[in-house]
Structure 1
Amino acid sequence: MLPAAARLTSSADFRLVTRGGRRAGRTRLVVHAVAGPADPEADPGSPRVGFVVSKAVGNSVVRHRVSRRLRHLVRDRLGTLPPGSALVVRALPRAAEATSAELGADLDAALRKLRLSSGDES
């Protein structure tokens, strides 16, 4: 589970990140990101993450399974994200058949493309 301080919850925050941020698409997911705080009143020290898993991914059981996998993967990477950043991870229909390792590889590739991984030197 993600800590409460690390969650995007309001539709305004989701809208700000998806419309105003950068985007990196992969086979199974799309990651939208804003490097600075999405909400000016938010704690700039903690990255925040939200998830979008639509009905196109599958029925409720499949959607919740994909959401749990993505939450777990992002939780392990929270420490590598820049302070004050905000992410929205949107699952695509192919995420339904993906393993956690495949979702993790797509997430890592998207974060590298957005240059949000702490290991990037470029």
Structure 2
Amino acid sequence: MASSTTTPSLERERELCTLLSCLFLDTEHTPDDIDAIGSSLFGLQVSIATAEHVLRYDLFPILGGNLLSVTGEWAFFDEDWLWAQVQTRRASFVGVKLIRNVGDSIAWRIVGRYMVWPNWMKVKERYIARM
């Protein structure tokens, strides 16, 4: 539940993070899963650019490792934990961000483009079809 000091915009971002985190679960995404994510994304009324930014720069650095984990399948990520991680990353010092972004860019090219981006493109198609 959102606190009384949470703005609607931040609450929508939190919901977006939770929704897009599904793309980092070590599961096979069925067409129904993709449709559900696309429909929910449309309901949040966020732009594709915003969703892609959150996916690539907020969520991938936090959740990308889950795609490589051999510890088993996760059903979901804890929403409070995830939002706290996103907020911590966003609040980092500029110097830390610069160094971290180099590593994140390399990891995205190796993992994200092959394990996250294809499912995101399917979600994006569903989202655009609803417009």
- Per the normalisation by structure 2, the TM-score is 0.32
Larger radius of gyration: 2
More strand by proportion, 1 or 2? Answer: 1
More helix by proportion, 1 or 2? Answer: 2
- Per the normalisation by structure 1, the TM-score is 0.34
Q: Which structure is higher in RCO with an 8 Å CA cutoff and minimum separation 6?
A: 2
